[in-house]
């Protein structure tokens, strides 16, 4: 088991299930062209998110951490005609790239990007009465993951699916800064102990380092 093995495996899965198309490829290319390290989910993880969205019949999806819109495209494609993805992004430049990529995907009518700090945007969404969401994907900065989870509960109903990316790597990676590690540890302890959800963590590999996604259903 080495890096080469799991990259080969991801490419095998991606080819087998045709996990790319001109829109997704252009989105990944836009990250390359911007000269930014790609921190989006892998193709197979994108498809997994889409399948999960379909499984819960999602009409309203919330994402924290848009980046260039790659995971957002996978999620929004699972929505019915009258469905909506609200995606939160702190960095206005990332949001601008994502907006272009969503337009290129023909998804601009289904996706609303809100630019700002998710810690402030989430209470705003609650005040506006936008929820409850059918599915919530937590993938923004790691230190406040537990706070994101608590705020996500306010935007949920029984049965809401809450997914959180990158909840394993920072527990074990010696290069991880303390604030990220503690953020993820606090989040994991919270979902494990919380009566509000039933949850587990699934290890993931994809193209990146080994990591994990938390999967939680609101009770």
- Give the 3-state secondary structure of the chain: CCHHHHHHHHHHHHHHCCCCCHHHHHHHHHHHHCCCCCCCCCHHHHHHHHHHHHHCCCCEEEEECCCCCHHHHHHHCCCCCCCEEEEEECCHHHHHHHHHHHHHCCCCCCEEEEECCHHHHHHHHHHHCCCCCCEEEECCCCCCHHHHHHHHHHCCCCCCEEEECCCCHHHHCCCCCHHHHHHHHHHHHHHHHCCCEEEEEEEECCCCCCEEEEEEEEC
Q: Which two tokens stand for residue 175?
A: 């290069």
**Cβ 79 to Mg ion shortest distance, Å:** 21
- Could you say whether residue 10 binds ligand DHB (CB under 6 A)? no
Q: Which of 43, 65, 131, 143 forms a contact with ligand SAH (CB under 6 A)?
A: 65
Q: Which of 24, 60, 62, 89 forms a contact with ligand SAH (CB under 6 A)?
A: 89
- Could you say whether residue 63 binds Mg ion (CB under 5 A)? no
Q: Which of 15, 21, 33, 91 forms a contact with ligand SAH (CB under 6 A)?
A: 91
**Cβ 71 to ligand SAH shortest distance, Å:** 3
Residue among 43, 196, 27, 51 at smallest CA distance from 106: 27
Name which of 65 and 144 has its Cβ closer to ligand DHB: 65
- Residue 27 binding result from Mg ion, ligand SAH, ligand DHB, none, given CB thresholds of 5 to 8 Å by partner type: none
**Cβ 8 to ligand SAH shortest distance, Å:** 21
- Could you say whether residue 39 binds ligand DHB (CB under 6 A)? yes
Tell me the per-residue interface mask from 16 to 55 with ligand SAH, x by CB under 6 A, - otherwise: -----------------------xxx--------------
Calpha distance 102→88 (Å, rounded): 14
Q: Which of 43, 53, 139, 149 forms a contact with ligand DHB (CB under 6 A)?
A: 139
- Could you say whether residue 94 binds Mg ion (CB under 5 A)? no
Region of 20-28, 123-131, 134-142, 150-158 interacting with Mg ion (CB under 5 A): 134-142
- Could you say whether residue 165 binds Mg ion (CB under 5 A)? yes
């Amino acid at each position: 088991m080495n890096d080469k093995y799991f990259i080969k495996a991801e490419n095998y899965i991606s080819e087998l299930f045709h996990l790319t198309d001109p829109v997704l490829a252009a989105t990944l290319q836009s990250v390359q062209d911007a000269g930014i390290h790609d921190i989006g989910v892998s193709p197979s993880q994108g498809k997994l998110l889409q399948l999960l969205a379909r499984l819960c019949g999602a009409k309203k999806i919330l994402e924290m951490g848009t980046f260039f819109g790659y995971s957002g495209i996978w999620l929004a494609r699972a929505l019915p005609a009258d469905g909506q993805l609200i995606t939160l992004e702190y960095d206005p430049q990332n949001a601008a790239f994502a907006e272009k990529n969503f337009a290129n995907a023909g998804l601009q009518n289904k996706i609303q990007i809100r630019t700002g700090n998710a810690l402030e945007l989430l209470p705003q969404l609650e005040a506006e009465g936008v929820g409850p969401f059918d599915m919530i994907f937590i993938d923004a900065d790691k230190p406040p993951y537990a706070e994101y989870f608590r705020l996500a509960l306010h935007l949920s109903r029984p049965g809401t699916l809450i997914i959180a990316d990158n909840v394993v790597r920072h527990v074990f990676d010696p290069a991880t800064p303390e604030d990220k590690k503690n953020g993820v540890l606090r989040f994991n302890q919270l979902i494990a102990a919380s009566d509000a959800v039933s949850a587990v963590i699934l290890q993931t590999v994809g193209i990146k380092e080994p990591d994990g996604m938390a999967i939680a259903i609101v009770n």
